[in-house]
Amino acid sequence: MKKLLARRELSLLVAIILIVGIAITLQPRFASEQNIRSILLWVPLLAVAAMGQTAVIITRGIDVSVGSILGLAGMTTAILLRDYPQLGVGGAAVIGIGLGAVLGAINGGLIAFAKVPPIVATLGTLGIYRGLTFIVSGGRQVDDYQLPKDLMNWSLEGPALLAKVPFLNTIPWVVWIAIIVMLLSHLGMTYTRYGRDVYALGGNPDAAALRGIPVNFVTFMAYVLCGIGGGFAGVLYASRYGTVNPSGIGNGFELQVIAAVVIGGVSVFGGTGGAPGVALSCLLLGVVNVALSVLAIADTWQMAIYGLVLLVAIIADERFARSARKRAGEAV
Amino acid sequence: MITRIRSRFGPEIVAVVLLLMAFGFSAFREPRFLDAEYLFDRSTLYMEAGILALSMTFVIIAGHIDLSVTSILALVGAICTTLVSKHGLPPAAMIIIAPVVGGALGALNGLLVSKGKLPSLVVTLATMALFRGVAQILLGDHSLPMPKELVGIHKIQLPGTYFHIPMVLLIILAVVAAAVLHRTVWGRWVTALGTNAEAARHAGIPTGKILIQLFTLSGVAAGIGSLLMLSRLGVARFDHARGLELDVITAVVLGGASIFGGRGTIFGTITALGLVGVVQTGMGVAGVKAEVQVAVIGLLLIVSVLFSNITARKRGR
C-alpha cells in the first residue's frame, strides 16, 4: 500500500520537474520572478480548497459546490470588510471560514442524514450558493480600494519574523497559511481517530458500519471540512485578487479542485490518497498553468488538458485498484 | 384502483399538481401566461433541454448519470460549424453529422463506464471538461455562424397552429422514448439494470452492451439538441448550454425518476420540464435575475430528492 502511494507522489514530482525543465529550455522567461510569484500565489487557493475535498473523495463522495462555497464566502468576507472595516481582517476571515463550514454542513446534512446522493445535493447547492452570492452582493463587485490593505498584504508580504532570512522572506503569508493547512490536514488524516475513520469508511463502507464507526457523522464532517476549505480559499481569493466579482469568483473552480485531488492520488474508489500527493498535484497544476501561458499556448487549452489528465488519473486509479484486489486474492 | 394509481404514479402526480399550481400562480400574476402564442414562443427555449432530458431519463433509470451531455452539445456545434465554414461541408450534411459525432462522443463515455468499469459520475465529469475544452480550443472566444439555411427552424410553425418544428420533434421523440422505455424488452432491461445491476447481469441481461448503448443514445440526443440550439441562436460558441445539465437533471428527478435507478417515466420528465420552464419564465417576468433563477432550480432539485426519499422511507422501501 505504502509503495503504491509513494509511486503516485514520485510520478507527480517527476512530472513537475519535467514540465519545469521543458518550459525553461523552451522559454527561459519561465523562471522569472513574476512567474514564480504567480505560481506561488495561485497554488495556495487551490491547495486549501483541495484539502477538504480530499476527505470527501476518500469517503467516495464528491462536492461540486466547492467553487460556489468559495464564491459566497469570499464575497461575504469582502462585503463585510468594505462595510465594517472595524471587524479587522482576522475577524472577517473567521466569519468567512465559519460561513464555509455552515454551507458545508448543509451539504453534509443532506448527504449523511437525508441520504441525498452527493452529486445531486452538491449540484443543487452549487446553484443555490451561486444565487446567494448574487443576492448578498446585489450583483455588484467589491473593488480593491474598498478592502483594507492588511488583507492584500497577505499576498504580498511574508511573516515579519522571516524578514531577515534570505529567500524565505520573499514568500508571502498565503503560502505559509496553505503550508500550515496542508500540514494540519496531513496530521489530522494520519494520526487522529477521525482521519482513520475516514479511510476506513472509504475503504469499505459496510465493514466500517459493522466496526461501529459513526458512518453518518464521519460523512457529515467530511463535507464540513470541504466547506471550511472552500471558505478559507474564498478569503485567500479576496486577498490575492482584491477585486471580488459575484459572477467571477470561484466559477468553475470545482473542476480544478476535483482534478487536483484525483490527480493527487485520491482514488474515486475511496480509501486511498492523502495530503502530500494532493499538495504536489496542486503545485503541478500551478506549474502547468504558468507553463501554458509562457509557452504561448492559448489558455483556451486549459480546460481540455484538465479534463484529459483527470480522465487519465481515473483510469490509472482503476488499474491500481484492480491489481491491488488481485494481489489480495479477491475476485476482480 | 385509485390507491394503486397513487402508489404507482405518486411522483408523476406530484409533478402534474406542481405544474398546475405554478401555472395558475404565474397566470394570476401575469395574464400573458394565458396567451397561447406567448407560451409557445417561450417554449422554444426549452426544446434542447427536453431532448437531453429524454435520454437522461434512461441513463438515470439505469442507475447512472451523464454530466457531459451539455459539453457534447457544445462540441458537436463547434465541430459541425467548423466543418461547414472552413472545410466546405454542405450545410445539409450537418443534420446527419451532428447526431453521429454526438453518438461517438457518448460511446466514448459508454466504453469507459462499461469496459473500463469506471463510475459514470467521474467519467462524465472528466469528459464534461474535456469535451467543452476541445470546443474551446476549436472556437476560442469567437462565435462561428450557423449556415443561413438552417437558422430559425423554431420560427417555422405547423400550418394553422402554434406548434413549432422543434416541439413537433420533441413530441415525436417523447412518444418513441415512452414506447421504448415502457413497452420494449430493452426498456425493461434498462430498468432492471437500475434496480439491481448484479442481479440483472446474473439474469443474463447484456449489461455492458446496454451501458454503451445508453451513453451513445445520450450523445445522439446531445447532437440533435446541438442542431436545435445552433438553429435557434444562429451561432456556435464553446460555452453554449453551460450549466444546462442542472435543468435537465432537475426535470428528470422532479419527474419521478429515482436517482438511485430502477424507476421513472417519460411522462413525468416532460411534465417536470414544463414545470421548470414555467417557474423560470415566471421568475423572468417578475424580474428575477438569472443567477437567482439557477438557485431556485437547484433548490427544486434537492427538495424533489428529499421528498422522494421521505416517501420511499414511509413505504418501508
pLDDT, averaged per 10 consecutive residues of chain B (317 residues), comes to 65 86 86 85 92 97 95 96 89 92 97 91 94 93 86 84 90 96 94 92 92 96 96 92 92 92 93 93 88 92 87 65
Give the residues across from B144 on adjacent strands: B236
pLDDT at residue B177, rounded to an integer: 96
pLDDT at residue A173, rounded to an integer: 87
* Alpha-carbon span A289 to A130, nearest angstrom: 25
Of residues A40 and A228, more confidently modeled: A228
pLDDT above 80 (res A62): yes
Nearest CB to A125; choose among B112, B116, B298 = B298
Of residues A162 and B260, more confidently modeled: B260
Based on the number of CB atoms within 10 Å of its own CB, is A2 exposed (0-12), middle (13-18) or buried (19 or more)?
A: exposed
Chain B contact for A247, CB < 8 A?
A: yes
In this structure, the strands spanning B144-145 and B235-236 are antiparallel
Question: pLDDT (tens digit, 9 = 90+) per residue, A255-292?
Answer: 999 999 999 989 888 788 889 999 999 999 988 888 88
Q: What angle do CA B28, B34, B38 make, to 5 degrees?
A: 125
* B252: closest chain A residue by CA: A120
Residues whose CB falls within 8 Å of the CB of residue A62, separated by 6 or more in sequence, listed in order? A56, A118, A119, A122, A258, A268, B121, B122, B125
* ipTM (interface predicted TM): 0.89
pLDDT above 90 (res A151): no
Find chain A residues with C-beta within 8 A of B253's C-beta: 120
pLDDT above 50 (res A81): yes
Q: Which of A53, A120, A135 has the most B C-beta neighbours within 10 Å, making it the best mutation to test the interface with B?
A: A120
Chain A contact for B202, CB < 8 A?
A: no
Calculated CA dihedral for residues B51, B54, B59, B60, nearest 10 degrees? 120
Tell me what the mean pLDDT of segment A217-234 comes to. 96
A134 CA to chain B: closest CA distance, Å?
7
H-state helical runs in chain A: 2-26, 33-58, 66-83, 88-108, 118-137, 149-153, 173-191, 193-203, 205-210, 215-241, 253-263, 275-294, 302-327
pLDDT above 90 (res A192): yes
Grouping H, G, I as helix, E, B as strand and the rest as coil, residue B90 is: coil
Would you call A303 and B136 a contact, using CB atoms and an 8 Å cutoff? Answer: yes
Find chain A residues with C-beta within 8 A of B130's C-beta: 303-304, 307-308, 310-311
pLDDT at residue B228, rounded to an integer: 94
pLDDT at residue B291, rounded to an integer: 87
Would you call B302 and A121 a contact, using CB atoms and an 8 Å cutoff? Answer: yes
Question: pLDDT (tens digit, 9 = 90+) per residue, A91-112?
Answer: 999 999 999 999 999 999 999 9
Would you call A300 and B141 a contact, using CB atoms and an 8 Å cutoff? Answer: yes
* B299: closest chain A residue by CA: A124
Q: What DSSP element (H or E) covers A168?
A: none
Residues 181-240 in A contacting B (C-alpha not used; CB under 8 Å): none
What are B18's three cell numbers? Answer: 406542481
Torsional sign, CA A85, A89, A91, A95: positive
B257 CA to chain A: closest CA distance, Å?
13
Closest CA to A51 of A34, A35, A63, A37: A63
Closest CA to A42 of A299, A311, A268, A223: A299
Of residues A151 and B279, more confidently modeled: B279
Chain A contact for B260, CB < 8 A?
A: yes
* Alpha-carbon span A132 to B170, nearest angstrom: 34
Chain B contact for A119, CB < 8 A?
A: yes
* Alpha-carbon span B298 to A160, nearest angstrom: 46
Would you call A300 and B137 a contact, using CB atoms and an 8 Å cutoff? Answer: yes
pLDDT at residue B247, rounded to an integer: 94
pLDDT at residue B316, rounded to an integer: 55
Q: Which of B128, B292, B299 has the most A C-beta neighbours within 10 Å, making it the best mutation to test the interface with A?
A: B292
Chain B contact for A66, CB < 8 A?
A: no
Based on the number of CB atoms within 10 Å of its own CB, is B241 exposed (0-12), middle (13-18) or buried (19 or more)?
A: buried
Q: Measure Cα distances from B92 to A150, A213, B163, B165 in Å.
A: 61, 61, 23, 17
What are A278's three cell numbers? Answer: 494532493
Residues 287-306 in B contacting A (C-alpha not used; CB under 8 Å): 289, 291-299, 301-302, 305-306
Find chain A residues with C-beta within 8 A of B118's C-beta: 314-315, 318
pLDDT at residue A30, rounded to an integer: 82
Would you call B134 and A139 a contact, using CB atoms and an 8 Å cutoff? Answer: no
Grouping H, G, I as helix, E, B as strand and the rest as coil, residue B89 is: coil
- Number of Cβ pairs < 8 A linking chain A and chain B: 139
Closest CA to B218 of B191, B249, B256: B249
Give the residues across from A142 on adjacent strands: A244
Residues whose CB falls within 8 Å of the CB of residue B17, separated by 6 or more in sequence, listed in order? none
Q: Name which of A9-13, A142-146, A154-158, B29-33 the model is least confident about.
A: A154-158
Would you call B112 and A246 a contact, using CB atoms and an 8 Å cutoff? Answer: no
Chain B contact for A246, CB < 8 A?
A: yes
Cα–chain-centroid distance for residue A174?
A: 14
Would you call B295 and A139 a contact, using CB atoms and an 8 Å cutoff? Answer: no
Question: pLDDT (tens digit, 9 = 90+) per residue, A305-329?
Answer: 889 988 988 888 887 777 777 776 6
* Alpha-carbon span A245 to A144, nearest angstrom: 11
Residues whose CB falls within 8 Å of the CB of residue B204, separated by 6 or more in sequence, listed in order? none
Query: What DSSP assignment string belongs to A107-136?
Result: HHIIIIIS---HHHHHHHHHHHHHHHHHHH
User: How many Å from the N-terminal Cα to the C-terminal Cα in chain A?
Assistant: 18
What are B309's three cell numbers? Answer: 426519499
Based on the number of CB atoms within 10 Å of its own CB, is A138 exposed (0-12), middle (13-18) or buried (19 or more)?
A: exposed
Would you call B136 and A300 a contact, using CB atoms and an 8 Å cutoff? Answer: yes
Give the residues across from B164 on adjacent strands: B157
Query: What are the start-end ranges of the E strands in chain B?
Result: 144-145, 235-236
* Alpha-carbon span B209 to B111, nearest angstrom: 9
